[in-house]
Amino acid sequence: MKKIYGSASEALDGVLREGMLIAAGGFGLCGIPELLLQAIKDAGTKDLTFASNNAGVDDFGIGILLQTRQVKKMISSYVGENAEFMRQYLSGELELEFNPQGTLAERMRAGGCGIPGFYTKTGVGTVIAEGKEHKDFGGETYILEEGIFADLSIVKAWKADETGNLIFRKTARNFNPPAAMCGRVCVAEVEEIVPLGSLDPDGIHLPGIYVHRLIQGTHEKRIEQRTVRQKETA
């Protein structure tokens, strides 16, 4: 199977369609598949549902797709830092399905493992539990959450070999592996593709069996929040 493509647009060719569910990796602006998101914007594909920890910021990440009205629904845990997201949600232009972060990660992982649903205590007694099946185990109440089975996964990794084995760096490892697992097709963008056998098998974070298409590119790596202190004077 050919896995390495020349660009993000080439890697998404024949995969994108309107109305699809896309699982996107990243945590804040760390480890987001920025090249693939830009390619989706350029393709103009609409009515998309994104399962992602967050929606980026106004002009970066999924935020660029909100600006062009290509997203109809977000399945997310955190939606701060994005004024356009807030405006569209409050005006009824955008659907939102809130998920606790751990629940969202587990929903993705479950989908990648072929598990259609699982019970969790997280959210019991809150608005998160409304309309969901409740069941008691050992005297404790749990709610049923469904696994996410995405049409497409887009993720960002640090290194890959030619078969798609991936290594992530630091915080980028939070949501990228489960997001990659739950897609029927997974496209990964990386900073470097190394020859087969170059990666320590014990250091691989995601096996290449989950990755169908792969690109190498240059990334902006924007910082979401920068905190500095004033220079001390004598």
Helix (H, G, I), strand (E, B) or coil at 106: helix
pLDDT for the residue numbered 59? 87
Q: Within a domain: residue 165?
A: yes
Q: Within a domain: residue 170?
A: yes
Q: Within a domain: residue 23?
A: yes
Residue 234 has pLDDT above 70, yes or no: no
Q: Within a domain: residue 193?
A: yes
Locate 49 and state its tokens. Answer: 């549902």
Give the Cα separation of 58 and 85 in Å (integer): 8
Contact 85, 63 (CB under 8 A): yes
Domain count, the chain: 1
- What are 137's strand-pairing partners? 140
Q: Within a domain: residue 158?
A: yes
> Is the overall model pTM greater than 0.85, yes or no?
yes
- 229 confidence band (pLDDT: 50, 70, 90): confident
pLDDT for the residue numbered 224? 73
pLDDT for the residue numbered 57? 87
- What are 157's strand-pairing partners? 190
Q: Which of 154, 157, 174, 194 is nearest to 61 (CA)?
A: 154
- 231 confidence band (pLDDT: 50, 70, 90): confident
Q: Within a domain: residue 166?
A: yes
Structure confidence by residue, pLDDT tens digits, 55-98: 888 889 999 999 999 999 999 998 777 889 889 999 999 999 99
- 220 confidence band (pLDDT: 50, 70, 90): confident
Q: What is the DSSP letter of 224?
A: S
Residue-number span of the structural domain to which 192 is assigned: 8-117+152-216
Residues 207-212: what's their mean pLDDT?
A: 97
Q: What is the CATH number of the domain that holds 189?
A: 3.40.1080.10
Rg from Cα positions in the chain: 18
Q: Within a domain: residue 232?
A: no
Q: Within a domain: residue 140?
A: no
